[in-house]
Amino acid sequence: MKLLVILPRVPYPLEKGDKLRAFNHIKYLSKTNDILLCALNDTDIHPEALSILSPLCSKIYVFNLSKWSIAVNLFKALFKGIPFQTGYFYNTGVARKIKQVIEDEKPDHIFCQLLRVAEYVKDVRIPKTIDYQDVFSKGVERRTAKSPFYLKPLLKMEHRRLLKYEHDLFEIFDNKTIISQPDRDLIPHPDRSQIHIIPNGVDTDFFKPMESEKKFELVFTGNMGYPPNVNAAEFLALEILPLVKRKHPEARLLLAGATPDKRVQHLKSEFVHVTGWVDDIRDCYAQARIFIAPMQIGTGLQNKLLEAMAMKIPSITSPLAFSALGAVEGRDILVGNTPAEYADLICNLLDNEELAQKIAESGYNFVHKHYNWERATAVLDNIMKQT
């Protein structure tokens, strides 16, 4: 099948969840399909990106979005009534180019990742699939509650627009996919049960147990410019860590990930280390005794949890992130809510090596059993080929 894949970003490097998901979908779909990739780009392309993607795609089209065009299109979105996230990535010049690609290549199917690119194909009469991935409307709603007062009106507007847009897309695309059942249940459409759940996976050949000196008691990873990660990093460093240090004064925290926001950088101290970009994130996991992802806002499955568990790092998370995981609380992973609860769980693992090993082993087995990119993408491939 000739498959046109449209993405809001070039899917390399894999420092963001949407890039990781897109890259692995392309990797395994390319085994049985002819992949034509159209990727939008608003930054400098990684020097290795095209050489890594080229073996997976018969053709790659990269459409650059200038800062000026983004500003203009965000202004247009205000009056068009579409979400600003969609307006950010929609460009009329790029739309003409994608239309030309479709006319020239005549793909059998179109796959769009995220509602951010849906405008480009909403009127195209070719079988098409959209990967909602996460419920953006719910993510913005949660973010609104924790944002400063001057951002709330804008975020509330975006929330309303996303609710309508997520509903309307349901009628436009032949197939709809999403990352987890909790996310599917939040899609604002009465027929949401028709959405196919396509979970993420984890590369267990890459993310596997490693021997390393334990320089930190805790590690949290992710794109540190992403608001839910910024929020979680502050919650961890400012509210949880001080409680842990009452019993373990030496406790150290590693915040590892690309593009750290100023708020994350300000968390640096004798006991909090902020890395910025790292060449191999596995080293960060391996240097810590416990992985913790105390997510308070956002949606979707946390890839960072899968990676840590695959490396046999005992892990702790929030009810919000746990709901999408499908693991057994207390066996595969620990779940906290308040800062005091998180601190107690951390101290229990630090004080009880047998418990820490038991959680690590069970989490490792759980991930190996339930999260596999090839199996998940095979389901997606079958759905599209049956359309």
Separation of alpha carbons 383 and 387, rounded Å:
7
Mean per-residue pLDDT over the chain, rounded: 96
Mean predicted confidence (pLDDT) in 164-179: 96
Q: Which residues, in sequence order, are CB contacts of 116 under 8 Å at separation 6+?
A: 8, 85, 86, 88, 89
Q: For position 298, what pLDDT does the model report?
A: 76
CB 59 within 8 A of CB 138: no
Most confident of 178-182, 262-266, 301-305: 262-266
From the centroid of its chain, how far is CA 283? 21
The stretch 106-123 carries a mean pLDDT of 97
- Model confidence at 300, pLDDT cuts 50, 70, 90, reads confident
Whether the pLDDT of residue 299 is over 80: the answer is no
pLDDT average, residue stretch 320-333: 94
Structural domains in the chain, sorted by start:
2-201+372-385 (3.40.50.2000), 216-370 (3.40.50.2000)
How confident is the model over 86-100, as pLDDT tens digits?
999 999 999 999 999
Residue 301 phi/psi, 5° resolution?
A: -80, 135
Given pLDDT bands bounded at 50, 70 and 90, which one contains residue 349? Answer: very high
Whether pLDDT at 116 is above 90: yes
340's CB contacts (< 8 A; 6+ apart) are 243
Model's pTM, two decimal places?
0.89
Q: For residues 175 and 134, what is the distance between their CA atoms, to the nearest angstrom?
A: 15
The pLDDT value recorded for residue 47 is 95
Structure confidence by residue, pLDDT tens digits, 235-257: 999 999 999 999 999 999 999 99
Write the CB contacts of 261 (distance below 8 Å, at least 6 apart in sequence). Answer: 224, 225, 230
pLDDT of residue 65: 97
pLDDT band at 146 (very low <50, low <70, confident <90, very high): confident
> What pLDDT is recorded for position 315?
98
pLDDT at 252: 98
Q: What is the average per-residue pLDDT within 303-323?
A: 96
| Helix ranges, the chain (H) | 17-29, 49-53, 67-80, 84-89, 92-105, 136-145, 152-172, 181-184, 227-234, 241-247, 262-265, 281-286, 303-310, 319-322, 339-351, 353-370, 373-385
pLDDT band at 133 (very low <50, low <70, confident <90, very high): very high
Q: What are the structure tokens assigned to 300, written together?
A: 């979707």
Evaluate if residue 301 carries a pLDDT over 90.
no
Whether the per-residue pLDDT at 80 is higher than 90: the answer is yes
Q: What pLDDT, on a 0 to 100 scale, did the predictor assign at position 173?
A: 98
pLDDT of residue 145: 85
* 220 SS3 class: strand
What percent of the chain lies above the pLDDT cut of 70? 100
